Amino acid sequence: MAFNIGGNIKKLRAEKGVTQEQLAEHLSITYQSVSKWENSITSPDLYLIPAIAEYFEVTIDELFQPNMQGYKNKAARLFAFYEHRPSKQHYEKADAEFEKLIAENKADADDYRNYGMLNQFRAQKLNQKAEDFYKKSIEMGNEKSEGQLRWLLESLGRHQENIDKYEEAVKNDPNNARNWYLLAYSYGGDYGDGVNPEKALDICRAGLKKFPDDAALLSQCGDFCRGLKKHDEAIGYYHKSIELNPDTGDSYYGMAFVCAEAGKYKEAIWAWEEVIALYGRLGLSDEEAEMGREWPRKEIAKLQKLINE
């Protein structure tokens, strides 16, 4: 065979720190066979090639390169392997090796770059899986997944896909309050931090003309007003939302934040106390309810301190 596969195996074996005997045992062959490969007397049987590549965590193409270049460290090699064979197992191996480099203070700029790329590639794969699963859930009738998919696409900068989708939905079914709700969020983001919060608020107000008693739309209007620093208007929307549905948790949180931002600390404390009370009537376990109350209690303490100063 014209390729220097034996020399490559020797190089990889030395890098991995294993003996000929250990490699032979893993492949269920004799160590003499490994010795013959490395001395270019014979070459591995073709059926062994995938197992050898897998063992050394390289691609088959790399194994056959005439002048295979070694990697600067194990992390770089595992990253290259993940690029060719992306899987959870290969990601975890590379991730662990990069973490080890960092912990030992041996990582240089290229290592950090490669580590960033490893996680970027993994994130792309996971985001695609998430998108596929949300779409499947939506097909099965789960409305909550609509919001999750919208948020995912927004986080990936795919705002226009959301906008186009929900503009079409409102056009085709204007009597569905949820379509207005999702279209508004497609423009405004979660708290008026989207691509066009002013238009989002206009859409939300238009939705309220059709559905004036929709607590979710009222709370959403409060969120957009809060993002646009329209504090008093936001408080009005939150109050009405709470009147219609006392268990609208988002409205209590929004009320707490906007009142604190407006310097209305006592009103903010009232909203946090309502959050605490809400956790007591949601049917949660004691442990879950207590975990939910931790943050409100901390915020109340901060506000009390501001009042007392």
What is the residue-wise DSSP string for 167-180? HHHHHH-TT-HHHH
Task: Work out the pLDDT band at 17, boundaries 50, 70, 90.
Answer: confident
Same domain, 59 and 164: no
Query: Which candidate, 31, 17, 26, 78, places its Cα nearest to that of 51?
Result: 26
From 49, 70, 91, give the residue that closes a domain: 70
CATH number for position 219: 1.25.40.10
pLDDT digits over 175-216, tens only? Answer: 999 999 999 999 998 877 888 999 999 999 999 999 999 999
Same domain, 189 and 298: yes
178 and 61 belong to one structural domain: no
Q: How many CA atoms lie within 13 A of 207 on its CB side?
A: 29
Total domains in the fold of the chain: 3
User: Domain check: are 48 and 115 in the same one?
Assistant: no
Tell me which of 37, 70, 103 is where a domain ends. Answer: 70
86-90 long-range Cβ contacts below 8 angstroms, 24+ apart: 86/121, 86/122, 86/125, 90/57
User: Same domain for 149 and 108?
Assistant: no
What CATH number is attached to the domain comprising 32? 1.10.260.40
Q: Do 134 and 227 reside in the same domain of the chain?
A: no
Provide the token pair at 190: 């979660």
Q: Report the percent of the chain where pLDDT is more than 70.
A: 98
* Cα separation, 274 vs 83, whole angstroms: 50
Handedness of CA 286, 292, 295, 298 (dihedral sign): negative
Q: Which of 142, 167, 198 is the last residue of a domain?
A: 142
Q: Is residue 177 domain-shared with residue 275, that is, in the same domain?
A: yes
Indicate if 131 and 149 belong to the same structural domain: no
Q: Which domain holds residue 84?
A: 71-142
96 pLDDT higher than 80: yes
Smallest CA-to-CA distance from 89 within 75, 99, 100, 78 is with 78
Whole-number average pLDDT of the chain: 91
Q: Are 35 and 178 in the same domain?
A: no
Give tens-digit pLDDT for 208-260: 999 999 999 999 999 999 999 999 999 999 999 999 999 888 999 999 999 99
| Shared-domain flag, residues 61 and 201 | no
Q: What is the pLDDT of residue 242?
A: 95
